[in-house]
Structure formats: C-alpha cells, structure tokens
A and B are shown apart, each in its own frame.
Chain A
Amino acid sequence: MAARKPIFNQQVLYDTTPLPESIPKVKELGTSSAPLLSAAFFIGARCKDYNDDFMQCKTDNPGRGEFECLKEGRRVTRCARSVIDDINKSCLQQFRAHWECLEDNNQQLWQCRPAEWKLNKCVFENLKMEKVIPDQPKNSTPVHLRPHQIYAHRPIPREETPWIPPTQAAKSP
C-alpha cells in the first residue's frame, strides 16, 4: 500500500495548513511543464551541485528523506527559481517563444529547434549558461545543433541556422 500514490486532486481533499514557522519558507517554482522543459538544461547547468546534494541526501536517508532533506530541497528550489527568474529577466521573448512552441508540439524538443537556438544564444550571451547533453557520441554533432531534424513535422527553414556555442565551435574544426 505504501507504493500507492494518493493524489490530492479531488476538490474536497485539500489541506491548507501551512508549514510550521520552524521550517523556513521558500517560494515554490510555480512553473508549468513546458517552461520547465525549456529551461531544464540551464537549471542543470547552474544547479547541478544542489541537485546532486539533494539526491544524495535522499539516497542517504531512505524512508526519511522527506523530513531530513528539506534544507537541500529549499536550496534546489531556490536555485531553479533563480534560473527561471534570470531567463525571464533577460530572455523573456525567446523563452516564451520556445516554451509556447513546445506546448504546441507535444513537448517534443526536436520540433522547436529554431526557437531553441535563439533561446540558447540569448541565455549564453546574458547568463553564460550553455546547454550540454552529457554522454553523447563524440563523433557526431550534438543532436540539438543539427540543422536537419529527421523526425520534425516541418523542415527547418533554410535561413534558420543552429547557433553553435563558442566552446563547441572551438572543439570542432
């Protein structure tokens, strides 16, 4: 029974009691799935250490992680929130274009490459964060930098070219 997840999605199953004062408050992310997906790799770029700390804490406290890892959890949430806030401040237009595209396309990242390239460029220039997918094969272009996406519904227009981050450009001749 413990594995059964009670989801509080019925109208009467609400409990609005706030956390006790002894537990510090943190503002929740308040972001839906498409913007989160759009910002995922930037959250990963900035918050990797906090995320790893939190997951390590959860692993070290099996069955008690919910209580023991509140501090790490607040750090994770604060960091992710700072990323979203920063992107909102400096790249709102590109961010919105990308996640609205994701929302219109079943959240399939490969349908939205042009918007993603613009967002990546803006984020790199303003926030110095870069999208890197780990563990990719070394002998091929990273999938998010390919000018042709095989499975996309619409071909990418010719005038849209991938924005290659300087670190990648230095690596490949």
Chain B
Amino acid sequence: MPQDMPPVGGYEAVQYKRNLPAKGFRPATIMLGAGLVMTYGWYKLAIGIREQNEYAREKMWSRIHLIPALQAEEDRDLVRRHLADQAREKELLGENIKVYNSDRYVRPTFAIAPGNITK
C-alpha cells in the first residue's frame, strides 16, 4: 500500500490571521489623544498648585503681621503672672529663691490655684 503523501502542490496555508479590519483608532492616534489629555491635566494641576502656593503665602504673611501683636499680649500676661508669683513668694517665704542657675525666663510648669473656688 502506498504511503499517504501531501497533496500535489502542498497543503493550503493555515489561516491564522483574522480577516477583519482593525477596529478603532490607530495606535498613534490613541497615544496622541492620551498625551493631550494628560498634558491638559498637568497644565491645570500646575495652575492649581501655583494658586495654592499663593494662598499659602498670603496666609503666612497675614500671620507674620499678626504674630508680634499676639506675642506682646502673651508676654505681658506671662510677666504679670510671674511678678504676681514673685510677690506671693516674697510674702509667704520672705525671700525669692532662685530656682534656676540663669536669668532666663522659664515658663512655669505649675500654677497656684485658689483654695476656695467661688465661681
């Protein structure tokens, strides 16, 4: 019995490619479109960030203008409390004991509280 042989002229080509037109836009167009969208996004983002920087600068300068007034008020209050403490100590102990080995002002950690609370 003769052996099976390929048909004369060889087999037909196997169709592995789809015989359909490519859908959608060309890849280059999609790339370009995505690039445009992202460029626009970055542009808006940059504008937003710059505006935020300006807001921050405005806020910072408003604070810079206010800090001396706030600090002056706070300092007066601290001095008032300190002098009152010193006077009270003098009255109770007869002398002012130097607690720290320097002349720096140290914010008190403890404060006196009145014995009788009336309000």
Contacts and interface: CB of A to CB of B under 8 A. Distances in A.
Interface of A: 1-2, 4-6, 8, 11-15, 17-20, 23, 26, 28-29, 36-37, 40-41, 43-44, 47-48, 50-51, 54-55, 58, 62-67, 69-70, 72-74, 76-77, 80, 108-110, 133-136, 140, 142-144, 149-151
B71 A54 contact: yes
B55 A151 contact: yes
B65 to A, nearest CB: 3
B105 A64 contact: yes
Nearest to A84: B69
A109 B83 contact: no
A43 B104 contact: no
A109 B55 contact: yes
Interface in B8-26: none
A109 B87 CA distance: 45
Contacts of B84: 15, 17
Given A18-B80, A67-B79, A151-B51, A80 B107 contact: no
Nearest to A51: B68
20 contacts: A1-B109, A4-B107, A5-B107, A6-B111, A14-B114, A40-B65, A44-B61, A63-B102, A63-B103, A64-B105, A70-B75, A73-B75, A77-B72, A77-B76, A80-B69, A133-B57, A143-B57, A151-B51, A151-B52, A151-B55
Nearest to A77: B72
B105 A51 contact: no
Interface residues of B, number: 48
Interface in B81-119: 81-85, 87, 102-114, 117, 119
Interface majority SS (helix, strand, loop, mixed), chain A: loop
Nearest to B44: A150
B65 A41 contact: yes
B38 to A, nearest CB: 20
B18 to A, nearest CB: 49
A53 to B, nearest CB: 9
B48 interface: yes
B4 interface: no
Contact of A74 (B52, B58, B67, B72): B72
A109 B62 contact: yes
Contact of A135 (B52, B57, B63, B71): B57
